[in-house]
C-alpha cells in the first residue's frame, strides 16, 4: 500500500538538519524587521527545534504554528500588521489560495522537498514570491524581501494645495508641518563628540547582545564612520538605515534625537550632491518608486488628486522603471516623480548610485519632507500596475515657511538646544521634554541663565502633565535662581513675570486660591498695562481673568478673556493657537456656569483651531474633546457625548512610556464613555469600558490616583450588575464606592444617599429585607434633610420600605410608608394621576395581606376609577389594579368576580405590546386562574397556568422566594395520573 506524499515529506523533513550558517542567516534576516509592523508566520509541523528556539529569542512577532487550525485563527486575528508567510509544502496547495486575498498578507514563501511540485503556485498566485528547498536560499530571499519592505514602509502626509495659509490647514497637514519644524531644529543642533557617542550607544541598545553579527557592525561603524560617508552607509545593508528609517517613519522623538548626528550628515551630503547636479545643468528629473500598497491606501490616493503629498522620511526612488517594478511586485503601485529644478530650488535630492553598494538600483534619494502634488492616479492595464504621477510642489514652501516662522516666534530661547526642548513642550510632549531638560541641566551645570530656562521648562512640563508637586518644586527653583540673577546682574525680570504667572496657574490647579491670587498680582505688577504693546495686553487680560476666576467672579473673568480674544483676532500675523486658547478659556467659563450653548459654541471653535495647529496626540485636543463630551452629557445628548469621549480617548497622548497622569486621564475617559453607554442602555459596552477603566486605574501609583474616578467606576459597575440582575456583584461595587465616599467626602450627603438606595434595592432583590430597610432608611433620612426636599426620591424611598415590610409580613408598617408616599404624591403639581392611582393599588394590596379586605377593595376601586375616568386604561398599572381586585375577590371566595377581574387584567396586558412582559401581576393572574381551574377540577388548564406563572417568576425573583415555593407546591398537587 502506497503512503500519501505528505508522509514521505515529513519523514525526510525530520531527517534534515539546519547548519549554524543557516541560523545566522535567519538571525540577520529577522533583524531586518525589528520594531516594524511586520509579522512572520511559519506553518510547519516539523520545524527544526534550533530554528524555533532562535525565533523565540529574537522577536515576539515571529509566530510558529504546527497545525492548520491555529495558524488560520492567528492570521485572521492580525489586522494592523503586514504578514510574511512561510508554508511547508504539505499545506501550501490548500492554504496559499485561501490566505492569498487576506489584505494583511504581503507575501508567501513555500518551503518544501520537491520544488517542481509547487512552482505552479508562484505562477497562479501573485503573492507566492518563492519556492525554496534549502534554508540558505530561503533566508537570503527573506532578507532581501524584508529589506525592500522596510524601505517601502513610508508614511504619507496628504494635504490640499488650496491650503495656502495657516487658517486652512487640515489635521494631517498640521502633523506634517510640526514634523518639518522638528526636523529644522534637529538639523540646527550642534554636532558634538557626545552626540556621536549617544548615537553609537543607541545602536548598541537597539541591536541586543542576542545579535552578535549586528554588534560587530556597530563596532565597524564606530571605528570607520566619517561624515562624508553618510550616503554609503545609508545604502549598505547596515545598522544605519534600519534604525534611522524606523525612527523617521514612526516619528519617535527620542530615537530621532539620538540619531540626529547621522541625519545631519546625510542631509549635508545630499545637499552637496544636489548642488553638483544643478551645476551640471539638470533641468527636469523623472524618477520612480515601486511600492506595495493595500487597496484602502490606493483609494485614498485616488481621492487625493490635486493635493500635496509628503513622506516623513528620506524618500528612496530610482531612475530605472524596471527596478521600481521589481520593488513593487506584481500588480502593485509605481510612483512617477517629476522635478523641475528651476521651479523647485529648495528641494534636496541626489543621485547616489556612485556612492551606493548597489549601483544597479540607480537610486535617487530625497531629503526628509520633500513635497509633491498628486497629478493622476490610474490602473495601467498594459503593465498591470497602478500608476501615480506626481510633480514637485515648490509652492508649498510658503506654507511650511510661514508655519515654521510662527511657531518658532512663540519659542524665544537663547540656544538651539533649548529650542528643541521648548518645541517638545509646544507639541504637548511633556514627558519627553522633562527627560530632555533633565539631561541638559546635567550638561550645563555652570551656566546660570541656561539652568534657569531649564528649570522653567521643567516646571511648565510637569504642570502640563498635571504633576503639580514636581511643577511647584521646579518653579520654586527657578524663582529663587531668578531672584539671585536679578540682584547680582539685573537679568531675570522678564523670566520672573512668566514664573509668577506659572506659579499662579499651578496653585490654582491645586485649589490653593489665595496663593494663586498672590502670584497673579505679582505678575501684573511686573507687567503694567501698555496700550501700545499687544503682547503685554494679552498677558494682562489673561492674568486679570484668572484672578477673577479664582474669586468666583465669572462675569468679569469672561470680560477679560473676551478682550484678550479681540486682541488676538486683530493680531498680525494670524496665530491660530492663541485664538484657540482664548476661545477655550471662554468656553470653559461658560461650562462652569452651565451656559451650555455658549460653551459648546466656543469649544467647537477651539477644536477646529486646535485640529489645524496641534499634533494629533496633543493633550489640549483631548481636553477639548472631553469638555465637548461633558457638555453633551449634561444636556443628555448621549450619542454625541459618546462620539466626543471616544475622540478624546483616541487623541489622548499614547500610553507608551506615558505618565501616571496620562493613564489616569485614560481611565477617566473610559469611565465617562461607559457612563454614556449606560445611559443608552447598552450595558455590555458600558461594562467593557468600566472594566478597562478599572484596569487602567490599577496601573497608577497610589500617589497620583484620583479616588473620585474610582468612586464613579465602582458606582457605575454596581448599576451594570444590578441591571444584569447579578445583585451580589452589584453590592460589591456599590459598597466599595460607598466606603470611598464616606472616607474622602463625608459631606457629599446626596451621593451617600444614592449609594445606600442602590445597595438597598440589591438587598431587596436578594430577599434580605431587613438590610434593605436599614440602607433605605439611611437614604430616606438624608433626603428628608434636603431644602427643598427631593419629593420624587422621598416617594421612591417610602415605597421601597413599604415593599420590604410587606415581604416581612409587617403590613401595618407597610401601609404607613405607602400612605406617606401617597400623601407626597398628591401634593405634587401637576398631579400624576397614574402614580396616585398606582399608590392606591399598593395600599389596597397591603390591606388585603393584612386581612382587611373591605379597605383593600375600597382603595383598589378608587384606583381603577381614576384610570377609567382619565382614560388611562392602556396603562400598566390599570392591568395591575384589575389583577389585585381579582386576587382579593378570590381570597373572599367570590370566584366569579375573581375570574372576571383576572381575565380582564390579562386582556389589558396582552392587547398592549408596550406593557411590561414580565410584570408580577401577570404571574398573579396565571396563579389565580390556575387556582380557579383547580377548584373546578380542570387539572390541565390549572397545570398550564401554574407553569406559566412559575416560568415568569423565575425571571424576576430569586429561586428561593416564597412565591416560587408556593407555586411549586401547587404544581405538586397535580399528579400525572390526574391528567
Q: Beta partners for 377?
A: 388
Q: 572-597 as b/e, with b when 16 or more CB fall inside 10 Å?
A: eeebbbbbbbbbbbbbbbbbeeebbe
Please report the pLDDT score of residue 122 as a whole number: 82
Among residues 612, 521, 527, 626, the alpha carbon closest in space to that of 575 is found at 612
Look up residue 788 and give its three cell numbers. 427643598
**Cα separation, 756 vs 778, whole angstroms:** 7
Please report the pLDDT score of residue 837 as a whole number: 96
Q: Which residue has the higher pLDDT, 220 or 914?
A: 220
Residue with C-alpha cell 487576506? Answer: 102
pLDDT band at 589 (very low <50, low <70, confident <90, very high): very high
Average pLDDT score, the chain = 83
Q: What percent of the chain has pLDDT over 70?
A: 84
**Cα separation, 438 vs 165, whole angstroms:** 37
- The answer to whether the CB of 701 falls within 8 A of the CB of 711 is no
Please report the pLDDT score of residue 160 as a whole number: 44
Cis amide bond preceding 830, omega within 30: yes
pLDDT band at 20 (very low <50, low <70, confident <90, very high): low
Quick one: average pLDDT of 68-89?
Answer: 85
Q: Is the pLDDT of residue 63 over 90?
A: no
Quick one: average pLDDT of 234-247?
Answer: 78
Measured from the Cβ of residue 358, the count of other Cβ atoms closer than 10 Å reads 12
Please report the pLDDT score of residue 657 as a whole number: 44
pLDDT band at 979 (very low <50, low <70, confident <90, very high): very low
pLDDT band at 655 (very low <50, low <70, confident <90, very high): very low
Please report the pLDDT score of residue 700 as a whole number: 75
- The answer to whether the CB of 169 falls within 8 A of the CB of 613 is yes
List the Cα angle 49/54/58 in 5-degree steps: 155
**Cα separation, 436 vs 760, whole angstroms:** 54
- The answer to whether the CB of 603 falls within 8 A of the CB of 631 is yes
Please report the pLDDT score of residue 151 as a whole number: 60
- The answer to whether the CB of 135 falls within 8 A of the CB of 21 is no
Please report the pLDDT score of residue 555 as a whole number: 93
Look up residue 254 and give its three cell numbers. 527620542
For 34, what's the count of Cα atoms within 13 Å in the CB-facing half-sphere? 26
**Cα separation, 600 vs 590, whole angstroms:** 9
pLDDT tens per residue across span 928-951: 999 999 999 899 999 999 999 999
Q: 830-868 as b/e, with b when 16 or more CB fall inside 10 Å?
A: eeeebbbbbbbbbbbbbbbbbebbebbbebbebbbebbe
pLDDT tens per residue across span 94-104: 999 999 888 88
pLDDT band at 582 (very low <50, low <70, confident <90, very high): very high
Please report the pLDDT score of residue 731 as a whole number: 96
Quick one: average pLDDT of 57-82?
Answer: 78
Please report the pLDDT score of residue 169 as a whole number: 40
For 270, what's the count of Cα atoms within 13 Å in the CB-facing half-sphere? 24
List the Cα angle 5/9/15 in 5-degree steps: 150
Residue with C-alpha cell 384589575? Answer: 882
Q: Which residue has the higher pLDDT, 35 or 947?
A: 947
Look up residue 606 and give its three cell numbers. 477651539
Look up residue 554 and give its three cell numbers. 465669572
To the nearest 5 percent, what fractions of the chain are helix, strand and coil? 65, 10, 25
Please report the pLDDT score of residue 576 as a whole number: 80
Please report the pLDDT score of residue 128 as a whole number: 87
Least confident stretch, 149-163, 501-515, 965-979? 149-163
**Cα separation, 722 vs 734, whole angstroms:** 10
pLDDT band at 161 (very low <50, low <70, confident <90, very high): very low
Quick one: average pLDDT of 22-45?
Answer: 65
Measured from the Cβ of residue 98, the count of other Cβ atoms closer than 10 Å reads 12
Residue 128: phi, psi to the nearest 5?
-80, 100
Q: Is the pLDDT of residue 76 over 50?
A: yes
List the Cα angle 267/272/275 in 5-degree steps: 125
pLDDT tens per residue across span 403-418: 666 655 555 556 778 8
**Orientation angle between helical segments 5-15 and 89-99, nearest 10 degrees:** 110
Q: Which residue has the higher pLDDT, 736 or 551?
A: 736
Dihedral angle of Cα 760, 762, 763, 766, to the nearest 10 degrees: 160
Q: Is the pLDDT of residue 157 over 70?
A: no
Please report the pLDDT score of residue 329 as a whole number: 67
Q: Is the pLDDT of residue 567 over 70?
A: yes
Longest dimension (CA), the chain: 115
pLDDT tens per residue across span 876-895: 899 999 999 999 999 999 99
Contacts of 966 (CB under 8 A, 6+ apart): none
Please report the pLDDT score of residue 719 as a whole number: 95
**Cα separation, 430 vs 620, whole angstroms:** 12
Please report the pLDDT score of residue 162 as a whole number: 41
Q: Beta partners for 39?
A: 83
pLDDT tens per residue across span 595-616: 999 999 999 999 999 988 788 7
**Orientation angle between helical segments 576-592 and 534-550, nearest 10 degrees:** 20
Please report the pLDDT score of residue 797 as a whole number: 94
pLDDT band at 729 (very low <50, low <70, confident <90, very high): very high
**Cα separation, 23 vs 189, whole angstroms:** 42
pLDDT tens per residue across span 684-710: 999 999 999 998 888 876 655 678 889
- The answer to whether the CB of 860 falls within 8 A of the CB of 846 is no
**Cα separation, 487 vs 492, whole angstroms:** 9
For 352, what's the count of Cα atoms within 13 Å in the CB-facing half-sphere? 31
**Cα separation, 309 vs 119, whole angstroms:** 40
pLDDT band at 166 (very low <50, low <70, confident <90, very high): very low
pLDDT tens per residue across span 761-798: 999 999 899 999 999 999 999 999 888 888 999 999 99
Q: Is the pLDDT of residue 26 over 60?
A: no
Please report the pLDDT score of residue 854 as a whole number: 95
Quick one: average pLDDT of 671-676?
Answer: 91
Q: Is the pLDDT of residue 147 over 80?
A: no
Q: Is the pLDDT of residue 563 over 70?
A: yes
**DSSP of 902-967:** HHHHHHHHHH-TTS-TT-HHHHHHHHHHHHHHHHTT-HHHHHHHHHHHHHHHHHHS-TT-HHHHHH
Look up residue 452 and give its three cell numbers. 534657569
Q: Encode 131-182 in three state secondary structure.
A: EECCHHHHHHHHHHHHHHHHHHCCCEEEEECCCCCHHHCCHHHHHHHHHHHH
Look up residue 943 and give its three cell numbers. 397545570
Least confident stretch, 387-396, 402-411, 414-423? 402-411
Please report the pLDDT score of residue 496 as a whole number: 80
**Domains in the chain with CATH codes:** 5-152 (3.40.50), 157-403 (3.90.176.10), 419-526 (1.25.40.10), 554-647 (1.25.40.10), 660-739 (1.25.40.10)
Quick one: average pLDDT of 134-154?
Answer: 72
Q: Is the pLDDT of residue 402 over 80?
A: no
**Cα separation, 876 vs 910, whole angstroms:** 11
Which DSSP letter does residue 370 get? -
Please report the pLDDT score of residue 811 as a whole number: 96
**Cα separation, 731 vs 737, whole angstroms:** 10
Q: 255-289 as b/e, with b when 16 or more CB fall inside 10 Å?
A: bbbbbbbbbbbbbbbbeebbeeeeeeeeeebebbb
Quick one: average pLDDT of 368-382?
Answer: 89
Q: Which residue has the higher pLDDT, 826 or 169?
A: 826
| Statement: the pTM of the whole predicted model exceeds 0.85 | no
Look up residue 875 and give its three cell numbers. 396603562
Look up residue 123 and give its three cell numbers. 505562477
Please report the pLDDT score of residue 513 as a whole number: 80
Please report the pLDDT score of residue 712 as a whole number: 92
Please report the pLDDT score of residue 914 as a whole number: 52
Contacts of 300 (CB under 8 A, 6+ apart): 158
Measured from the Cβ of residue 489, the count of other Cβ atoms closer than 10 Å reads 10
Please report the pLDDT score of residue 164 as a whole number: 36
Look up residue 145 and give its three cell numbers. 524581501
- The answer to whether the CB of 834 falls within 8 A of the CB of 867 is yes
pLDDT tens per residue across span 429-446: 888 889 888 888 887 777
Q: Is the pLDDT of residue 977 over 80?
A: no
- The answer to whether the CB of 16 falls within 8 A of the CB of 136 is no
- The answer to whether the CB of 730 falls within 8 A of the CB of 762 is yes
Look up residue 139 and give its three cell numbers. 533566508
Please report the pLDDT score of residue 413 as a whole number: 58
Quick one: average pLDDT of 352-374?
Answer: 86
Bridge-based pairing of strands 38-43 and 62-65 is parallel
Dihedral angle of Cα 488, 490, 496, 498, to the nearest 10 degrees: -140
Please report the pLDDT score of residue 39 as a whole number: 83
Amino acid at each position: 500500500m502506497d503512503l500519501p506524499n505528505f508522509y514521505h515529506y515529513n519523514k525526510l523533513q525530520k531527517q534534515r538538519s539546519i547548519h549554524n550558517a543557516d541560523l545566522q542567516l535567519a538571525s540577520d534576516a529577522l533583524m531586518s524587521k525589528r520594531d516594524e509592523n511586520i509579522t512572520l508566520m511559519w506553518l510547519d509541523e516539523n520545524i527544526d527545534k534550533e530554528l524555533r528556539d532562535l525565533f523565540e529569542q529574537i522577536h515576539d512577532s515571529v509566530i510558529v504554528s504546527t497545525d492548520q487550525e491555529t495558524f488560520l485563527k492567528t492570521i485572521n486575528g492580525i489586522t494592523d500588521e503586514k504578514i510574511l508567510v512561510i508554508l511547508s509544502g504539505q499545506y501550501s496547495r490548500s492554504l496559499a489560495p485561501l490566505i492569498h486575498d487576506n489584505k494583511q498578507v504581503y507575501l508567501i514563501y513555500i518551503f518544501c522537498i520537491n520544488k517542481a511540485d509547487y512552482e505552479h503556485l508562484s505562477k497562479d498566485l501573485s503573492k507566492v514570491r518563492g519556492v525554496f528547498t534549502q534554508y540558505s536560499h530561503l533566508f537570503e530571499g527573506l532578507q532581501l524581501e524584508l529589506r525592500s519592505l522596510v524601505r517601502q514602509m513610508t508614511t504619507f502626509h496628504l494635504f490640499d494645495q488650496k491650503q495656502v495659509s495657516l487658517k486652512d490647514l487640515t489635521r494631517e497637514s498640521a502633523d506634517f508641518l510640526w514634523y518639518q519644524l522638528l526636523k529644522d531644529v534637529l538639523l540646527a543642533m550642534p554636532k558634538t563628540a557626545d552626540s556621536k557617542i549617544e548615537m553609537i550607544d543607541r545602536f548598541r541598545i537597539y541591536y541586543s547582545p542576542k545579535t552578535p553579527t549586528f554588534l560587530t557592525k556597530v563596532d565597524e561603524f564606530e571605528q570607520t564612520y566619517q561624515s562624508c560617508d553618510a550616503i554609503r552607509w545609508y545604502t549598505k545593508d547596515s545598522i544605519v538605515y534600519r534604525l534611522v528609517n524606523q525612527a523617521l517613519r514612526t516619528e519617535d522623538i527620542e530615537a530621532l534625537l539620538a540619531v540626529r548626528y547621522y541625519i545631519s550628515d546625510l542631509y549635508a551630503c545630499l545637499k552637496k550632491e544636489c548642488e553638483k547636479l544643478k551645476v551640471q545643468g539638470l533641468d527636469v528629473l523623472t524618477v520612480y518608486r515601486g511600492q506595495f500598497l493595500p487597496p484602502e491606501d490606493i483609494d485614498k490616493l485616488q481621492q487625493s488628486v490635486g493635493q500635496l503629498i509628503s513622506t516623513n522620511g528620506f524618500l528612496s526612488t530610482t531612475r530605472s522603471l524596471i527596478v521600481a517594478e521589481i520593488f513593487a511586485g506584481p500588480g502593485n503601485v509605481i510612483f512617477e516623480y517629476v522635478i523641475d529644478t528651476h521651479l523647485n530650488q529648495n528641494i534636496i535630492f541626489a543621485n547616489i548610485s556612485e556612492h551606493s553598494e548597489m549601483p544597479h538600483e540607480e537610486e535617487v534619494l530625497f531629503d526628509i519632507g520633500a513635497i509633491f502634488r498628486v497629478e493622476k492616479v490610474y490602473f495601467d492595464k498594459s503593465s498591470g500596475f497602478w500608476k501615480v504621477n506626481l510633480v514637485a510642489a515648490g509652492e508649498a514652501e510658503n506654507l511650511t515657511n510661514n508655519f515654521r516662522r510662527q511657531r518658532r516666534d512663540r519659542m524665544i530661547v537663547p540656544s538651539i538646544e533649548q529650542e528643541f526642548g521648548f518645541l517638545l513642550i509646544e507639541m504637548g510632549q511633556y514627558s519627553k521634554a522633562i527627560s530632555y531638560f533633565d539631561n541638559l541641566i546635567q550638561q550645563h551645570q555652570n551656566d546660570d541663565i541656561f539652568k534657569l530656562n531649564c528649570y522653567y521648562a521643567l516646571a511648565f512640563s510637569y504642570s502640563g502633565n498635571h504633576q503639580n508637586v514636581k511643577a511647584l518644586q521646579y518653579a520654586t527653583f527657578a524663582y529663587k535662581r531668578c531672584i539671585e540673577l536679578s540682584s547680582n546682574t539685573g537679568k531675570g525680570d522678564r523670566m520672573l513675570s512668566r514664573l509668577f504667572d506659572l506659579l499662579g496657574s499651578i496653585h490654582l490647579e491645586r485649589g490653593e486660591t489665595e496663593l494663586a491670587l498672590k502670584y497673579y498680582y505679582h505678575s501684573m505688577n511686573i507687567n503694567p498695562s501698555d496700550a501700545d504693546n499687544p503682547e503685554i495686553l494679552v498677558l494682562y487680560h489673561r492674568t486679570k481673568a484668572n484672578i477673577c476666576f479664582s474669586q468666583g467672579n465669572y462675569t468679569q473673568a469672561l470680560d477679560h478673556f473676551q478682550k484678550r480674544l479681540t486682541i488676538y483676532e486683530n493680531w498680525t500675523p494670524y496665530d491660530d493657537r492663541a485664538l484657540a486658547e482664548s476661545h477655550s478659556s471662554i468656553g470653559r467659563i461658560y461650562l462652569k456656569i452651565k451656559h451650555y450653548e455658549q460653551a459648546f459654541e466656543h469649544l467647537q471653535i477651539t477644536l477646529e483651531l486646535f485640529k489645524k495647529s496641534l499634533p494629533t496626540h496633543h493633550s489640549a485636543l483631548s481636553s477639548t474633546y472631553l469638555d465637548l463630551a461633558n457638555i453633551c452629557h449634561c444636556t443628555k445628548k448621549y450619542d454625541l457625548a459618546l462620539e466626543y469621549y471616544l475622540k478624546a480617548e483616541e487623541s489622548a497622548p499614547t500610553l507608551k512610556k506615558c505618565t501616571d497622569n496620562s493613564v489616569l486621564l485614560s481611565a477617566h475617559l473610559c469611565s465617562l464613555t461607559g457612563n454614556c453607554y449606560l445611559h443608552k442602555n447598552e450595558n455590555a459596552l458600558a461594562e467593557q469600558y468600566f472594566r478597562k477603566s478599572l484596569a487602567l486605574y490599577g496601573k497608577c501609583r497610589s500617589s497620583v490616583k484620583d479616588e473620585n474616578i474610582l468612586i464613579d467606576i465602582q458606582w457605575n459597575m454596581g448599576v451594570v450588575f444590578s441591571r444584569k440582575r447579578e445583585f451580589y456583584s452589584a453590592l460589591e461595587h456599590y459598597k466599595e464606592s460607598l466606603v470611598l465616599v464616606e472616607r474622602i467626602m463625608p459631606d457629599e450627603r446626596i451621593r451617600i444617599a444614592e449609594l445606600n438606595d442602590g445597595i438597598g434595592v440589591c438587598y431587596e432583590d436578594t430577599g434580605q429585607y431587613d438590610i434593605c430597610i436599614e440602607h433605605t432608611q439611611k437614604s430616606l433620612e438624608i433626603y428628608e434633610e434636603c431644602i427643598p426636599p427631593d419629593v420624587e426620591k422621598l416617594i421612591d424611598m417610602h415605597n421601597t420600605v413599604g415593599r420590604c415590610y410587606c415581604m416581612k409580613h409587617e403590613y401595618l408598617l407597610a401601609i404607613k410608608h405607602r400612605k406617606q408616599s401617597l400623601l407626597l404624591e398628591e401634593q405634587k403639581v401637576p398631579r400624576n394621576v397614574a402614580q396616585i392611582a398606582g399608590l392606591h393599588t399598593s395600599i389596597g394590596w397591603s390591606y388585603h395581606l393584612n386581612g382587611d379586605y373591605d379597605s383593600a377593595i375600597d382603595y383598589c376601586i378608587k384606583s381603577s376609577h381614576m384610570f377609567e375616568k382619565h382614560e388611562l386604561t392602556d396603562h400598566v398599572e390599570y392591568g395591575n389594579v384589575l389583577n389585585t381586585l381579582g386576587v382579593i375577590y378570590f381570597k373572599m371566595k367570590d370566584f366569579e368576580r375573581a375570574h372576571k377581574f383576572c381575565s380582564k387584567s390579562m386582556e389589558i396586558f396582552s392587547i398592549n405590546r408596550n406593557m411590561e412582559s414580565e410584570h408580577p401581576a401577570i404571574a398573579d393572574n396565571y396563579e389565580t386562574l390556575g387556582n380557579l381551574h383547580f377548584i373546578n377540577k380542570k387539572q390541565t388548564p390549572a397545570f398550564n397556568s401554574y407553569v406559566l406563572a412559575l416560568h415568569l417568576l423565575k425571571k424576576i425573583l430569586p429561586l428561593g422566594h416564597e412565591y416560587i415555593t408556593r407555586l411549586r407546591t401547587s404544581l405538586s398537587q397535580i399528579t400525572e395520573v390526574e391528567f
